Amino acid sequence: MSLEDNIRRVTPYTPGEQPQKKVIKLNTNECPYPPSPKVVDAIKNADMDALRLYPEVDCDTLNSAISSYYGIPKDRIFSGVGSDDVLSMCFLTYFAGTEPVLFPDITYSFYDVWAEVYRIPYETIPLDEDFNIVPSDYSRENGGVVIANPNAPTGVVLGPDVVEDIVSHNKNSVVIVDEAYIDFGGRSALPLIEKYDNVVVVRTMSKSRALAGMRIGYCFGSPKLIKYLNDVKYSVNSYTMNTPALMAGAAAIEDDEYFRDITGRIIKTRADFAEKLKELGFSFRESSTNFIFAKPPAGAEASYVFEELKKRDIYVRHFKKPARIADHLRITIGTDEEMEILAGALKEIMG
């Protein structure tokens, strides 16, 4: 036996770069606008003495706000430190069987990392050549299913009927629908939680509510599935979310007008930028998210364009993965001005 034999070795997820210098940052799908002024007020007016105490163990301040906003009872809601924490807890809780958990080959690249770290058997199912999920591929024996809808990094959305088809064909396993980007397009699978007790819908405040720095995620499911999730959470770390995050999250969810304004602006900028990308010869599927996954025209390698943009202090995301992914760039939608500068730089690089 060696020391190494006693150690859990994993290949970690690679997060997007967070450069310290000021750049045009379009690499991690953050929101280009600040959080709601109500969030800023909630934090400014917070009772600092409360920080002496542990936070609410049941995240009640936040879950109550989420419950009123969506009209869903609190026993169907679970919150965590970003949707990464919520998803990780879901993997640990729901995927304890022996059959493989299924998810697409091109999807959020954290899923296989969690499966590896928790030693969950899994199988990836190839998307078709146009990056579509083929629903019938998920109608087989499995230990669970994970679908990002809209999918990342492709930006492609499935209709609610297709998601329901996948859920209804998997009554003996949990289907996780990761809706990190649903506020930018597509219809949510949320109504399915009333109809099926094997579906969990996961959301985040990192994108459409401009709170990536606060780390707030949540999910919805049957009271039974939420109880199982809490049992595991309380067995790992009971005080997950900090007090300022609980207050900020509640304030963010209550400011619906601001939320609609910023998501509307991003959707509009996305449409304008898509036109520019087309003119530049990029090919891409229509995006239902706050990013576009685009392939540069022949003659311009994605990795080259990525490096050239970086030299100009414009950061986008390039995944050094198999060909279908590596020949694309994932470009977050920023402000109109940022997208203008990016379009100018792309023109220059490919000129």
**Contacts with ligand PMP, residue ranges (CB under 6 A):** 82-84, 108, 148, 152, 178, 180, 204, 206, 212, 217
What residue type is assigned to position 245 of the chain?
Answer: A
Nearer to ligand PMP, 173 or 206 (CB): 206
Nearer to ligand PMP, 33 or 304 (CB): 33
Shortest-Cβ-distance residue relative to ligand PMP = 82
Rounded CA separation 308/16 (Å):
17
Tokens read off for 39: 């969030």
- Reported as type and span, the H/E element at residue 194 is helix 192-195
Q: What is the smallest separation between the CB atom of 199 and ligand PMP, expressed in angstroms? A: 16
Nearer to ligand PMP, 153 or 296 (CB): 153
Tokens read off for 77: 């809601």
Closest CA to 290 of 204, 217, 214: 204
Q: What is the smallest separation between the CB atom of 212 and ligand PMP, expressed in angstroms? A: 6
Nearer to ligand PMP, 152 or 349 (CB): 152
Q: What is the smallest separation between the CB atom of 211 and ligand PMP, expressed in angstroms? A: 9
Rounded CA separation 321/306 (Å):
14
Tokens read off for 252: 């963010």
Nearer to ligand PMP, 206 or 240 (CB): 206
Neighbours of 97 (CB within 10 A): 15
Closest CA to 174 of 135, 136, 226, 217: 226
Q: What is the smallest separation between the CB atom of 16 and ligand PMP, expressed in angstroms? A: 8
- Reported as type and span, the H/E element at residue 254 is helix 243-254
In the block, tokens 């792309």 appear at 346
Q: Is 15 exposed, middle or buried (0-12, 13-18, 19+ CB in 10 A)?
A: exposed
Q: What is the smallest separation between the CB atom of 338 and ligand PMP, expressed in angstroms? A: 19
Q: What is the smallest separation between the CB atom of 335 and ligand PMP, expressed in angstroms? A: 20
Nearer to ligand PMP, 284 or 345 (CB): 284
Q: What is the smallest separation between the CB atom of 80 and ligand PMP, expressed in angstroms? A: 9
Is residue 97 within 8 Å of residue 144, measured between CB atoms? Answer: yes
Nearer to ligand PMP, 15 or 121 (CB): 15
As a whole number of Å, the end-to-end CA separation of the chain is: 59
